[in-house]
Structure 1
């Protein structure tokens, strides 16, 4: 750019709007504690609605198969295609939230997802139902893709760990709540499988309508753009702009930043690749469990339809117990040991709970496998499920935090490809879950999965010992992109 062009640009944006110092009450960091807690709670509930929709369809597969005369493999597509939509959704709504703010991508995504859910709720054509499920997932991932940004907007680093721990506990337990709710719906003689969708539609549209009024915008550049619009309208000065108004991405830059960079990171960064594959495997196992538990407690133990999914609540209990553990860990250990004497942040200080989680998952799986038989009291496999839930949560929450800490400037891209890869595993695992469980039995299936989980335990341990060296190499590689 020549000197004359630079002068023109500076003149065009001579009246830049910014926050009035670090204590500006309009900045989300300076909102009152109740308002920030409210905002965090709302985004957590929206995530609960969105993620429960991913798995609730599964509980009606029996009636779905009879109505359309299809095989179980086809019926499972109702879950798998929803998660396939997540793959593209993660790469779409994260970037949208960085350009247009958090509120409207989040709410529009949930609303459009609920409208697409009308296709399986009302449809009498199999293609229409499956297409509706795919687009329901594509738009329904919006709360999951955006919630991390909302938390980073509202909470300073020192407090973000606690907010993240409690919010992720709801986000991660959402897919498990789906079959629990669906089990009660399918246990009612007055309701059919379509009511699984109606519940999601009613909850999604009601929450969206309410949040249009009560949910605030949290993205600081979006808040400043709104402030600039008010000032332009009040003063008539069209030169009033914000720093973000100066930004403009060409098609080439959008392709590079939002489409190429996430997968470039995945193929060149061992930390991101290994943690993503680890978390993706665990995520796939979680969706496989949604077909294992009805066999273990319904078919094998003879429990009623409304009760056979109820043991999944034990996984949710484990998640919330682990969330409390993370809060305690953050307060008593992490904040005192996360910096070197020179004040340099140490991302590896996130890893001890993740290592514990990695050990708990195979322990819980082996325990479940060896006690998931009518000869053993039902309380034993349910206690094992608590251990599994706690271990999975620790793997996810600390894995997310570690990835963000390692790729701060590219965290959005790193988490986007992480979410897409997890969705691929969540899409594929249900496709073979029933065949695997019926061919091998609950015990052998869970034992195999436990053995694979045990083989992955060294991943966070290796990063604990050699993470600083790997990060040094990775940082040099990232700088070249």
Structure 2
């Protein structure tokens, strides 16, 4: 046998080996079985708990940045007053424009994460937001400061817009409530922590209003760098896509694909699925629409409180800059008490009543705590309003704030859980439009807060808001009794 024959045999053997190697793997990459260890739902509890904790911290960073700027408004005005005529409304734009950025960010990052995965949209969002925060930290004009705040909000909302999808990636329904309780407690507490942290910064005579931004920049960039190395991808479709690329490289077979790869990403798909679908859900799904309006109102009231509390405890009671924001910690304490209540509800009630006799999941089993929260909020607000005078001990207002914080949290956490349970396959789109609407309220309420408090006073302002919150109490009650029927006739269909 000559050299040429040997070479031919070698080529044939190589081609045969390649064919065998290619035939060893199916061209459609899927998880091997329901217990596949590479599927995020099958990861270990400690690993999933770590992921949940990291997501909660990233949400805390992104939401603290939304409100921390407010504590330096007066210094901000004085700094630029020499060259620009700045009113209170312009100073408040430092907070409102950040939340306007949230509006567009929610509609961008949530849907994008359904196509490109969770990890990098979330981490790049935090990192780029921190970079834009350099503009208000160093800007020499009002325009530079406000533009930086807008884009800081646009990118900074990434973890808030994506966390619902991450929770549905890694936690089954029976455990998702506890995981969401932790994540949402940080999401909801973040804006309240902002003024508290900012109060300490502004209370230091050696620091000015720009240090509110430097704190966010340093923490945001550091967290992004650490998570780039330690945080895994959780989106099953992206995990499969990475597996397919590895197999393509190993087998030299470019036809190995995932189900997601076989769906062409056309402009029509982008517009229909990622831009239209969130609004379509909002306009066709009564559950999503009413819960979004309810949560948006509560969110707007929360941001209005950031301008009400300094008046109630600072101007009216004469507390210092550092101390006047500390009563907000009562709201945060209420939030964490509410999270404990959710854990107890999950263990004592939810897991025993979340399934019908035929095994189908019952999303409405999430709602009892939300009903309780809806009742607590107006009670706490009326209590705070009537105690908002120096003639009444400040301890009474603190106790009222705790009730408000607990009630608001219960509305948020169970509203989020109920939305994710009802729209699991489109959780990020549903949460995206929910977040955008909340941001609209959060951006608008601070714009009239000062005028409302000056015209009506703290007591009457909070009383009016408490009365409006009473009108929203029936929302979860209706869904508790009629939610299954409403879901049946308004069943979500992908646009």
TM-score (norm 2): 0.92
In the alignment, structure 2 segments of 5+ residues that lack a partner are: 1-22
Say yes or no: does 1:403 pair with 2:415. Answer: no
Offset from partner CA, 1:105-147 (integer Å, 9 cap, x none):
0000000000000000000111111000000000000000111
Say yes or no: does 1:33 pair with 2:45. Answer: yes
Q: Which residue of the other structure, out of 54, 61, 66, is the alignment partner of 1:42? A: 54
SS in 2 for 1:310: coil
Q: Which residue of the other structure, out of 43, 46, 53, is the alignment partner of 2:65? A: 53
Answer yes or no: is the 8 Å Cα contact 2:112–2:274 preserved in 1: no
Answer yes or no: is the 8 Å Cα contact 2:164–2:420 preserved in 1: no
1:14-93 alignment, distance < 5 Å: 15-69=27-81, 70-93=86-109
- Could you tell me how far 1:30 is from its partner in structure 2? 2.3
Answer yes or no: is the 8 Å Cα contact 2:165–2:427 preserved in 1: no
Answer yes or no: is the 8 Å Cα contact 1:43–1:143 preserved in 2: yes
Q: Which residue of the other structure, out of 160, 163, 179, is the alignment partner of 1:163? A: 179
- Could you tell me how far 1:154 is from its partner in structure 2? 1.4
Distance 1:174 1:458 in 2: 28
The answer for the alignment partner of 2:487 in structure 1 is 471
The answer for the alignment partner of 1:146 in structure 2 is 162
Distance 1:479 1:50 in 2: 32
Distance 1:233 1:58 in 2: 52
Distance 2:45 2:478 in 1: 39
Distance 2:44 2:300 in 1: 39
In the alignment, structure 1 segments of 5+ residues that lack a partner are: 1-10
The answer for the alignment partner of 2:376 in structure 1 is 360
- Could you tell me how far 1:479 is from its partner in structure 2? 4.0
The answer for the alignment partner of 1:321 in structure 2 is 337
Distance 2:304 2:319 in 1: 19
Distance 2:423 2:50 in 1: 29
Answer yes or no: is the 8 Å Cα contact 2:196–2:326 preserved in 1: yes
* Superposed CA RMSD: 1.5
The answer for the alignment partner of 1:7 in structure 2 is none
Say yes or no: does 1:389 pair with 2:401. Answer: no
Distance 1:89 1:317 in 2: 29
Larger radius of gyration: 2
1:244-323 alignment, distance < 5 Å: 244-323=260-339
The answer for the alignment partner of 1:334 in structure 2 is 350
Q: Residues 406 and 27 from structure 1, CA distance in 2 versus in 1: closer, same or farther, beyond 3 angstroms?
A: closer
Distance 1:312 1:143 in 2: 24
Question: Matched residue pairs, number?
Answer: 468
- Could you tell me how far 1:318 is from its partner in structure 2? 0.3
Shifted more, 99-108 versus 156-165: the winner is 156-165
Distance 1:19 1:470 in 2: 34
Distance 2:484 2:76 in 1: 52
The answer for the alignment partner of 2:190 in structure 1 is 174
The answer for the alignment partner of 2:116 in structure 1 is 100
Answer yes or no: is the 8 Å Cα contact 2:161–2:428 preserved in 1: no
The answer for the alignment partner of 2:16 in structure 1 is none
Answer yes or no: is the 8 Å Cα contact 1:14–1:239 preserved in 2: no
Distance 2:118 2:283 in 1: 29
Distance 1:215 1:87 in 2: 26
SS in 1 for 2:435: helix
Answer yes or no: is the 8 Å Cα contact 2:65–2:216 preserved in 1: yes
1:234-245 alignment, distance < 5 Å: 234-245=250-261
The answer for the alignment partner of 2:236 in structure 1 is 220
SS in 2 for 1:246: coil
Offset from partner CA, 1:335-369 (integer Å, 9 cap, x none):
11122222222222211111100000000000000
Answer yes or no: is the 8 Å Cα contact 1:56–1:196 preserved in 2: yes
- Could you tell me how far 1:218 is from its partner in structure 2? 1.1
Shifted more, 163-172 versus 286-295: the winner is 163-172
Distance 2:273 2:257 in 1: 24
Q: Residues 30 and 14 from structure 1, CA distance in 2 versus in 1: closer, same or farther, beyond 3 angstroms?
A: closer
Answer yes or no: is the 8 Å Cα contact 1:183–1:305 preserved in 2: yes
Distance 1:112 1:255 in 2: 25
Offset from partner CA, 1:1-50 (integer Å, 9 cap, x none):
xxxxxxxxxx9x96222223233322222222221111111111011000
Distance 1:228 1:263 in 2: 33
Distance 1:427 1:455 in 2: 22
Q: Residues 200 and 77 from structure 1, CA distance in 2 versus in 1: closer, same or farther, beyond 3 angstroms?
A: same
Answer yes or no: is the 8 Å Cα contact 1:176–1:316 preserved in 2: yes
Distance 2:439 2:455 in 1: 25
Answer yes or no: is the 8 Å Cα contact 1:60–1:186 preserved in 2: yes
- Could you tell me how far 1:156 is from its partner in structure 2? 1.7
- Could you tell me how far 1:230 is from its partner in structure 2? 2.2
The answer for the alignment partner of 1:205 in structure 2 is 221
Answer yes or no: is the 8 Å Cα contact 2:110–2:432 preserved in 1: yes
Say yes or no: does 1:192 pair with 2:208. Answer: yes
SS in 1 for 2:260: helix
The answer for the alignment partner of 1:8 in structure 2 is none
